[in-house]
Every structure is written in C-alpha cells, then in structure tokens.
Amino acid sequence: MSGLIALVGSGEFTPAMVEVDEGLLAATGSSRPRVAIVPAASWPDGEAVFLRWAAQGEAHFAALGADPIPVLIKDPASADDPIAAAAISGADLVYFSGGKPGHLLDVLRSSAAGVALRAAYARGAVIAGCSAGAMVMGGHQLRMGGRGFLQPPVSWQDALGIVPRIVILPHYDAMPETLVAPLALAAPKGAVLVGIDENTAMVGRDGTWQVQGRGRVTIWHGTRRERHRAGSTVVLPADR
C-alpha cells in the first residue's frame, strides 16, 4: 500500500510543525524511524542556506526521537549518486524542504533519487514536502517566469504526479487571493487547485485528507471555493 503524504504550506523543521511531524513519525510504524532530510530545493539560494536547512531538519527530527539522515543532493548529477538514492529508498519518512520548485523538479524528474522516491512511496514510506517540496508532488506545478510568485507570465509544467490530480499552492494566506481566482480558471483540465496556509499541512492518501496545523486549506474547483480548517476532512479526486 502506498504511503501517507503530507503537503505543508510552510514551517518545516520548526515548533509549529512538531505535532504534525510526530503524527507522521507515528504513521511509519517504526519505534525509531529513519528520516531522509532532502533540502535540494534550497541549493539555488547558496550552499550556506542549503546546509542550514539540512542541519535544521536533522536537529528537529532527532529531537522527536527519529534517526535523521541529511541527503545532500543539489542538482540532477548528484541526484544520481547511488548512496543518496539508497538513503531515500530505505527511509521510513522522506522530507523535502522548501526553496525553488522548478529546481527541485529538475533534480527529481529523471534521476536515481526520483526513482528511489517513488520506490519508497510504493512500499509504504511516508512522503512529506513543504512549500516547493509540496508543489512538486502534484500533477502540475506553476512555472514562474515573472519577478515573483504568481506574477505574470506564468505557465504550467508537469510535476512528479505523486498526487496527480491536484496543483499545490503553499503560503496561501500570504498571497493575494485575487491573483488565484483567474489562475484557477486557467488550470490544466481536471486539476484542482489546493491552497495551503503557512504552518498548515494536508495529510492523507487516496484522495482523503485531513487538515492539520494553525491555518486553513482552500480548494478551488474552477470558480467554486471551499475552506477547510484544522481537523476537517477533505475529499479530492483519487490519487490513482
């Protein structure tokens, strides 16, 4: 059975996500889960930022009683490293932190690390992605060509399709919703836009999700908008 998925709007490796992450660790069924920390999306922001996210993730999950392993892939070439791929494929929880979604997609799309991610998910590992790490899990993601998030021109590109029927918009409560409405109308056919607030997660599998954390999840079905608060169950098109 494929594993649990956590899509996080922001707040990875911070106290705001402790309760969510404790639930993810419990869902692995292991007394000391192996957690692969993958900060690859932050590599374009510089090595210092990249290593800081790796260290923060390692400290965060060690404090929660897990066995964290930073996986320091940074580009498509390093993502073919067999040791890195083995760390991902053998993990009980694989966590992708934030940064640049286009870069992360390039790293994972055709690499050994991407293959390992799918293998881990297929055997039941928990997969978590925050911000850019969440965006790449959908069926499509925004390709940003302007000066900022949601600034024109924008277009769509195929993402990893771990959750193929949705498009993930993290940091949702920090963006002008007036820009999202026309985006929802222009979404790929059959896609559902999912806005996830900061310090908030949507956790589930097979189309049934629970909202966790401090904020809300906003679902766009064309022009129809739904709001879901923490504790709510959200039913979306099935993952497969």
DSSP string over 72-119: ---STTGGG-HHHHHHHHT-SEEEE--S-HHHHHHHHSSSHHHHHHHH
Query: In the prediction, which pLDDT does 99 show?
Result: 97
Question: For residues 68 and 237, which has the higher predicted lDDT (pLDDT)?
Answer: 68
Rounded average pLDDT over 177-184: 83
Taking the CA atoms of residue 1, residue 8, residue 148 and residue 51 in that order, the dihedral angle to the nearest 10 degrees is -90
CATH number of the domain that 10 lies in?
3.40.50.880
pLDDT of residue 240: 42
Express each pLDDT in 195-230 by its tens digit: 999 999 999 998 899 999 999 999 998 888 999 999
pLDDT band at 194 (very low <50, low <70, confident <90, very high): very high
> 53 lies in a domain?
yes
User: What is the domain extent for residue 72?
Assistant: 5-235
- Across 40-58, average pLDDT: 98
User: 120, 94 in Cβ contact below 8 A?
Assistant: yes
Q: What is the dihedral of CA 225, 231, 235, 240, to 10 degrees?
A: 120
Angle value at C-alpha 129, between 6 and 93, nearest 5 degrees: 70
Tell me the mean pLDDT in the region 52-56.
98
Lowest mean pLDDT among 14-23, 54-63, 79-88, 169-178: 169-178
Residue 103 CB contacts under 8 Å (≥ 6 apart), including other chains: 40, 41, 43, 44, 132
- pLDDT at position 152 is 56
- Res 187: pLDDT: 84
Residue 34 in this model has a pLDDT that exceeds 90: yes
Q: Which of 150-154, 157-161, 198-202 has the lowest mean pLDDT?
A: 150-154
How far apart are alpha carbons 155 and 79 in whole angstroms?
26
Q: Does residue 146 sit within a domain?
A: yes
CA 2 vs. chain centroid, Å, equals 16
pLDDT at 237: 72
Whether 119 maps to a domain, the answer reads yes
pTM attached to this predicted model: 0.94
Number of domains present in the structure of the chain: 1
pLDDT > 70 in the chain, percent: 94
Residue 240 within a domain: no
Mean pLDDT of the chain: 93
Q: Which tokens sit at 118?
A: 């799918």
* Cβ–Cβ under 8 Å, residues 156 and 34: no
Q: What is the average per-residue pLDDT within 131-158?
A: 78
